[in-house]
Structure 1
């Protein structure tokens, strides 16, 4: 049986990144508290930095740049 991938809302991802940046705790600790991997927070932080308000467009949605290409 395959592994089921969890889906997180945009708000959850943004809050996880915010907590990691402002809590003063190590990212691994924040991730453990939220029940996610620290890798997820690192990826979400990178996506927010690169795409800003267009980060996390949702399942099946593309950013404006991806649609253009």
Structure 2
């Protein structure tokens, strides 16, 4: 049996809605998650995780890379911009031919 959830689903949905609305407005964007989490009595990191998951579910975020939502006259289209993935060190392997293999 799964463990009971700490927060009710209604609180979670309300917090996500409030956070997404606050992040859209440039005047309230800075510190929005921390402020809203404080108002609702939840951990700011918990709210951030909820918002990230909601964005992934809505298609606004792909594989952890943030997408760009654009609004057209009739519908909301979601377009993603390719974000350059982090560069990882590349290992080079020197191939040494065996004797007699040609």
Which bracket does the TM-score occupy, shorter chain normalised?
0.5 to 0.7
Runs of 4+ with >4 A deviation: none
The answer for unaligned runs of 5 or more in structure 1 is: 53-69
CA separation in 2, counterparts of 1:13 and 1:30?
Answer: 12
Deviation of 1:43 (Å): 0.5
Pick the aligned partner of 2:42 from 26, 36, 40.
Answer: 36
Which residue of 1 is the match for residue 95 of structure 2? Answer: none
Deviation of 1:21 (Å): 1.9
> 1:47-62 to 2 correspondence within 5 Å?
47-52=53-58
Deviation of 1:15 (Å): 0.8
Number of residue pairs the alignment of both structures matches = 48
Which residue of 1 is the match for residue 17 of structure 2? Answer: 18
Q: Cα 1:10–1:33, aligned 2, differ >3 Å: closer, same or farther?
A: same
Describe the superposition over 1:46-68 as per-residue Cα deviations: whole angstroms up to 9, x where unpaired: 1212235xxxxxxxxxxxxxxxx
The answer for unaligned runs of 5 or more in structure 2 is: 23-27, 59-102
Which residue of 2 is the match for residue 59 of structure 1? Answer: none
TM-score scaled by structure 1?
0.55
